Structure 1
């Protein structure tokens, strides 16, 4: 594997080596290229049709593994067909929405497959949501049918009194003791025929397949629309051209099915060439490798901090006792990339960049280090003003591209080949679009992400817009500060954000830390940070927490942390301030000085 330090440009020699390394699998790559070229929004094709083709071609191959159970492609396709027929019997028509709130289990994936085979839209609700937030998600999709797993009873109960569902919405319960007013989903499916629904063969790729909800880390969720077209492009580009799984492979997935990494990346890569999906109920750092071994997985997917959680587990002689040769996902930080790969003996890391609502993706298809990969579509990295949180325009009103090696806002051109499917809430769409970017009348999607131009059409993720803040006239990327903190012995998790300090411009850095050691050594941490970071990037405040709050997809929740800041009345946990050569306990006296401006950071 070619070594690249964090931020280093991609070297042509390393890229050529990566391209040459793919030659033994050139037929799979060619098939992906061919499918990508044929993939047009108006073409006939769908997720359900791909499943149907595999059931016809390899009926006895394993499609799904869960605990100690297995389903062949013929069995799983027939199950999905019964689910499709049950949806039709409940009055669901092509283009209408079926909301699904259920944890990771075979019944969930079968229901999803059934919905899209019918030409309906599966709205993948986050089963961790409650009350008004869950009601808001349901209102965004206005489902004709709701399928709820019994394990989500608490979430459903939290909707009591909320105007979440239209009166005509049919409610189905997947589990024992079906509540009054609900249909028994399993019984409804069991009485249906298992033949392929005729709608599957007529679905156009441009039709919607899923509603994927944003995590809501910075506000109420939005429902992004995932079309069959984007899913098929992912299957060809990420699945066949990059992952290149074989029918004998098993991809292990511990990410929730309501997330695109599971539903599109994992399932798409598996269906690309008839491999098996090993589905886990949920991610567990202590059980991860045992489940990988029990399923004989040859690949797995990751997101966010999952890899760091695995690294934090005690080393074991079994760390390399597995069959995994490939991992795919996003969010593997450059500072732990080599350590993770070397400890667990992973041959290839297919890091990628993408978002549920984005119209493009970058993929590390050539096994380069510390990069989110390559994208052939039209994109640009432009100068960004972090204070105003907007792209910079020149005197002519046009955006300005950064130089190679520079950091800027990633934008992608909206075109027929790269459409913006947007959100169910049309009012949210325009806010994500930039117009008259480089010429009058053009339209570009604003990813909201700051990335580094590594050259040769490769990028490295830097930070989310809004996470990067400005202090002492300099831009501070939270990911770089978090990386420095995570290199310090004893710190398990670090979440960095900017907070306002009276009498100062910009925002000062603050870090919420979870530490393995009971004794907090403020001087040691201050010394280590000053050695690793520019002075302006060293956090002014530290907050200690037993553990950090994360979403189900391992994104840190920063909204409350930013709001509470270093306010002693709002924060009951230990707070420290950088004072001289050490972080010292934030006292009421120092807090008063900070508020009055007499304590100068």
Structure 2
């Protein structure tokens, strides 16, 4: 089949989905209702497989309903928000869907968060209760007295994976005295569907994704039922082209939208079953793909890089994966998945938790985030001044075709912007009067460019270039430079910390680097600093490089200047400052010498 015929076939197959219109806010449509209808349609078919357990759609719906009735009995009602801190497992998804059936929103909390950031995430969503998995109970125990919740507001969920057996009699762990064991009476709860589920409207809150923003602590990106349903259908029909007989390999954290949207959303829409993993394992990936015959795979680029680095495995040959959907796949790793792993369809996508539109590589083109039906603009950017470029009249200047520019997405009735729980944070992402008076555009803060992908039915295709400003991507997590900086500034040695992202050859995203100015008279104590960083920050947020500066560089308006620091990066040949490095799997900083610097440049670093 030639390229023209293939593209036309792909285009015709997804044409009905391209005309999809999101539900209106008052429509009685929700993710809980979608799940319920899918469970009824495929009642005896497999729904989810996890750590040796398998539930049919009917059994899964029964479990969800029992959780919903139990939570309802604990006072959770429509319009409430409940924090959820739990590993990927069946109970985590069951609680999420149970809350949706009740009309309550879920505050999906990053499982690596501790201390101040964890408190903030529970508070910012106004959570009236917090559901916590047994495996993460210590994180809550450390902060519970600083939360505006009583003992009856902490709901403990047993984790069978921590027990020596699978039955309740074998399970040794018990809920702490300050938390409610919801599973102790779960079997006594009704398994019937709840009446309120059919009345929930598309414009009601489904969940909050707690995402690192460009300033301070994580922000709560608001996901309405309308938004979730608007993503689930195109992911399922356009990106995956999923069928009920498919099985999705899902190992991404479900507190992120990539796992929750393309992964879970596709399953809810199509009836495809999920093979769920607690966390990713490169060494076990292909054997599990073969054992469970997974045909669809949800990825992020960093995960794919690890798979590409593995030695050839017999299980990767003739593997059953037909389509993979995700984001951040580097061009060189793309080639590995095409040629070595022989994946027929790669649907790279682009979007964000708070964004109002998505890009999808619906025509299976090479090394592209695909296309979008939203109106967009690509704006010229002055990277040294750290601002968008305007003409003499003050209007933003668009890039020429093929040049990289900051992506703006038009906000309209089809592509609405729901933003964050914080109105001020939402408004900071909106630009008005860009092309017409009172028009509104979502500023993604990302740089993309249009590329030539050959015949594409007239659909413009794009390539992701980079992220702007104060957020970078590392270890598949968004890292806020301001949040990291604020934490480092609280260290007794530090006067000012200037944080930014730097590239490491062969590694997806950017590693954190901090240029630190010490307090007067202080000599840097790397051991104390290392203990502080490890205790106060999750692994993905810890700066890989620390540069000790005699004085901080600022602009004339006293804004920390980052352009020169980014350019110099950790190249110790370009400056005299001492640089410390956190080597792979280490918990202590050591001086970056020329030998390890060269190993990093040569790609022999182990990151």
TM range (shorter): 0.7 to 0.9
Q: Deviations over 1:313-363 (max 9, x none)?
A: 122233224211111100101132112321111111110001101111000
Q: Structure 2 residue aligned with 1:174, among 157, 161, 180?
A: 157
Deviation at 1:579, TM superposition (A): 12
Give yes or no for contact 2:21–2:414 (8 Å, CA) kept in 1: no
Distance 1:270 1:224, change over 3 A: same
Matched, 1:19 2:3: no
The answer to whether the Cα contact below 8 Å between 2:151 and 2:179 also exists between their aligned partners in 1 is no
* Match of residue 90, structure 2, among 93, 106, 114: 106
The Cα of 1:46 is off from its aligned counterpart by 0.8
Give the aligned partner of residue 59 of structure 2. Answer: 75
Q: Distance in 2 between matches of 1:318 and 1:55?
A: 32
1:162-561 correspondence to structure 2 within 5 Å: 162=146, 164-167=147-150, 170-175=153-158, 176-215=173-212, 219-454=216-451, 456-466=459-469, 482=504, 485-486=505-506, 495=511, 506-509=564-567, 545-547=582-584
Aligned to 1:596: none
The 8 Å contact of residues 40 and 417 in structure 1, kept in 2 or not, is answered as no
Q: In the alignment, what sits opposite 1:129?
A: 113
Provide the residue aligned with 1:10 in structure 2: none
Say if 1:183 and 1:579 are closer, same or farther in 2 by CA, change over 3 A: closer
Stretch of structure 1 that moved more, 454-463 or 321-330: 454-463
Distance in 2 of aligned mates of 1:168 and 1:424: 26
Deviation at 1:54, TM superposition (A): 1.4
Residue 283 of structure 1 deviates from its aligned partner by 0.6
Task: Give distance in 2, aligned partners of 1:389 and 1:367.
Answer: 35
- Measured in 2, the distance between the counterparts of 1:583 and 1:117 equals 52
| Counterpart for residue 87 of structure 1 | 71
Count residues with an aligned counterpart.
511
TM-score by length of 1: 0.78
Give the unaligned 5+ runs of structure 2: 159-172, 453-458, 473-499, 516-546, 554-560, 603-607
Q: 1:496: Cα distance to partner?
A: 7.8
Q: Residue by residue, what CA displacement relative to the aligned partner does 1:561-586 show, whole Å, maximum 9, x if unpaired?
A: xxxxxxxxx95232449999x999xx
Deviation at 1:52, TM superposition (A): 1.1
Choose the corresponding residue for 2:592, options 561, 571, 574.
Answer: 574
SS at structure 2 position matched to 1:117 = helix
2:214–2:470 CA contact under 8 A, matched in 1? no
**Aligned-CA RMSD value:** 3.5
Of the three residues 141, 146, 155, the one matched with 2:130 is: 146
**Aligned-residue offset at 1:545:** 4.5
Cα gap change, 1:341 to 1:92, in 2 (>3 Å):
same
Distance 2:509 2:418 in 1: 36
Aligned-partner Cα distance in 2 for 1:494–1:204: 40
Q: Quote the Cα distance in structure 1 between the aligned partners of 2:441 and 2:585.
A: 35
Q: Provide the rounded CA distance (Å) in 1 between the counterparts of 2:57 and 2:511.
A: 43
SS at structure 1 position matched to 2:27: coil
- The CA distance in 1 between the partners of 2:514 and 2:580, in whole Å, is 13
Distance in 2 (alpha carbons) for counterparts of 1:199 and 1:374? 38
Which of 13, 29, 32 is the equivalent residue of 2:17?
Answer: 32
* TM-aligned CA distance change 1:247 to 1:542, over 3 Å: farther
Q: Provide the residue aligned with 2:527 in structure 1.
A: none
Residues 579 and 211 (structure 1), Cα distance of their counterparts in 2 relative to 1, 3 Å cut: closer
Of residues 175-184 and 245-254 in structure 1, the stretch that sits farther from structure 2 once superposed is 175-184
The aligned residue for residue 480 of structure 2 is none
| Worse-matched range after superposition: 499-508 or 81-90 | 499-508
Give 1:64's aligned residue: 48
SS class of match (1:293): helix
Q: What SS does the aligned partner of 2:63 have? A: helix
Deviates more, 1:212-221 or 1:291-300: 212-221
Contact kept, 8 Å, 1:312 with 1:492, in 2: the verdict is no
2:496 corresponding residue in structure 1: none
CA distance in 2 between counterparts of 1:447 and 1:329 reads 18
> What CA distance in whole angstroms lies between the structure 2 residues aligned with 1:123 and 1:468?
21
Corresponding residue for 1:531?
none
SS in 2 for 1:205: coil
TM-score by length of 2: 0.77
| Secondary structure at the counterpart of residue 22 of structure 1 | helix
In 2, Cα distance between equivalents of 1:397 and 1:54: 52
Q: Could you tell me which residue of structure 2 aligns to residue 588 of structure 1?
A: none
How far the C-alpha of 1:42 sits from its partner, in A, is 2.9
Deviation string 1:424-454 (CA, Å, 9 cap, x unpaired) is 1222111111122112211111111111122
Corresponding residue for 2:485? none
Q: 1:549 to 1:135 in 2, by over 3 A?
A: farther
The answer to whether 1:54 aligns with 2:61 is: no
Could you say if the C-alpha distance between residues 149 and 95 of structure 1 is closer, same or farther in structure 2, counting changes exceeding 3 Å? same
* Separation (CA, whole Å) in 2 of partners of 1:269 and 1:583: 40
- What are structure 1's unaligned runs of at least 5 residues? 2-12, 470-476, 514-521, 527-535, 551-569, 585-601
1:79-104 deviation digits (Å, cap 9, x = unpaired): 11111112211111111101110001
Q: Quick one: structure 1 residues 498 and 347, their matched pair in 2 at CA, closer, same or farther if it must change by over 3 Å?
A: farther
1:437/1:334 Cα in 2 relative to 1: closer, same or farther (>3 Å)?
same
Instruction: After superposition, give the CA deviation of every residue in 1:29-54 in whole Å (9 maximum; x if it has no partner).
Output: 355346x2363333221111111111
